[in-house]
Homo-oligomer: A and B are copies of this chain.
């Protein structure tokens, strides 16, 4: 007989999708008013936190594949939220930096965003919240483990 699969209601991939849905819901609501997407927000967040970055590092820290980043960067540049320039030393590489307009979007939404985070922390309880982050980190393909 066929090996048994876990019920889809207890499947880890599906649980991850649903949890993500739940977490992104209020965040998407917030971003809807700013006109940028969740991924664009992520890129701006990373640039705001780390400053000027080469594209490869930016892609890693934003958890985006390179083709996605290429498209998103084009969009963000079009909106005047980032600047891009080639590395003069190694002309294969490219540096990306957030603009004042981009930083303003971060600043304008930081309060609301922090509040959303706080609500999830309260919903789970601070301890379970940290436990969850730790467990998720152990599934990260790039985790040291």
Contacts and interface: CB of A to CB of B under 8 A. Distances in A.
Interface of A: 2-25, 27, 38, 42, 45-46, 49, 61-63, 106-107, 110-111, 113-114, 117, 120, 123-124, 128-129, 131-133, 135-143, 145
* Copies assembled: 2
A120 B12 CA distance: 9
A139 to B, nearest CB: 4
Decide if the interface of chain A is mainly helix, strand, loop or mixed: helix
B23 A133 contact: no
Nearest to A123: B138
B136 A15 contact: yes
A145 B19 CA distance: 13
Contacts of A21: 63, 140-141
B110 A4 contact: yes
